[in-house]
Amino acid sequence: MKEIRVLQIGLGAIGLEIAKLASKKRGLKMVGASDLMKHVGEDLGAVLGSGELGIKVTSDYRKALKEVKPDLVLHATSSYLQDIYEQIVDCVKEGANVISTCEELSYPFYKHPDLAKNLDHLAKKNRARILGTGINPGFLMDTLVTLLTAACQEVKGIVVERVIDASHRRQAFQRKIGAALTEEEFVSKLEGKEISGHVGLEESIAMISDALGWRLQRIEAEQPKAIIASKQVSSPYYTIPAGRVAGLQQTASGYGDGEARITLLFKAYIGAE
């Protein structure tokens, strides 16, 4: 069986987990790794804790693309398509297939139709494939939901609720949802875009409606709202007294015929049951 040559771009917390898994998968062969800041110059195997692989992490992903000529790029650098567009273009122009964690890339036609059209054209021209995916968007609140409708003769409306006990997540995620802040600090950081809420709810709704052939008039995502701890809760990183922010909740809805046809509710907070 021919091995698929893999280049990892992005070695943050998520990128590292992807690379660890890929390095153990039969049929995949890690041939390169790149990150702008983290682990540059280090051996990838040592970074992954699997022993020397003879692969030095580079800060120049373009150079890595040309040198190792990957069949597949595993990409984990940003949630926003405009930030990573050129990276994806560079990969596809080298003939590499791309699987990315970029949330907006899971259904780019909604917010970025022109960029999506350009990527589609480039992928076809270079006989490459581009997939934006992950646990969410990519599976829990869109692909799985669409699959479940297959057992239905008629679907009139969809409501999805995802609840995460954030105490088990990495510190960066807990910080991102405002854990341990006062409510006033939460609002201030939300306004300053230090707290972003969940990226991808609108893309998930657009993906579901497309799969079901529904024509929605509009999709709206509400601003994240703080979830206040009713009692003291804790994680390995924070002890949160009652009255402080434990996390956040966010709702997005897709409207058709004057009513919400698809509603996604996302909750992530320390101590969630």
Q: Residue 178 has what pLDDT?
A: 96
Per-residue confidence (pLDDT) for residue 51, from 0 to 100 = 82
* Contact call for residues 265 and 159 (beta carbons, < 8 A): yes
Alpha-carbon distance 31 to 6, whole Å? 6
User: What is the structure's pLDDT at 1?
Assistant: 74
Backbone dihedral angles phi then psi of residue 209, each to the nearest 5 degrees: -65, -35
Q: Give the global pTM.
A: 0.92
pLDDT, residue 215, reads 95
In the prediction, which pLDDT does 196 show?
81
Q: Which residues contact 52 (CB under 8 A, 6 or more apart)?
A: 43, 45, 46
pLDDT of residue 108: 97
- Distance, in Å, from the CA atom of 103 to the CA atom of 70, rounded to the nearest integer, reads 23
Q: Is the dihedral of CA 264, 265, 270, 273 positive or negative?
A: negative
Q: Are 54 and 36 in contact (CB under 8 A)?
A: no
How deeply is 200 buried, as exposed, middle or buried, from its count of CB atoms within 10 A (0-12, 13-18, 19+)?
buried
d(CA 26, CA 272): 37
Q: Which helix (H) or strand (E) holds 228?
A: strand 225-228
d(CA 102, CA 74): 11
Q: Are 96 and 128 in contact (CB under 8 A)?
A: yes
Residues in the chain where the model's pLDDT stays below 70: none
Q: What is the pLDDT of residue 2?
A: 87
Crossing angle, helix 81-93 and helix 113-125, to 10 degrees?
A: 10
Q: What pLDDT is stored for residue 52 in this prediction? A: 82
List the structure tokens of 60: 């120049």
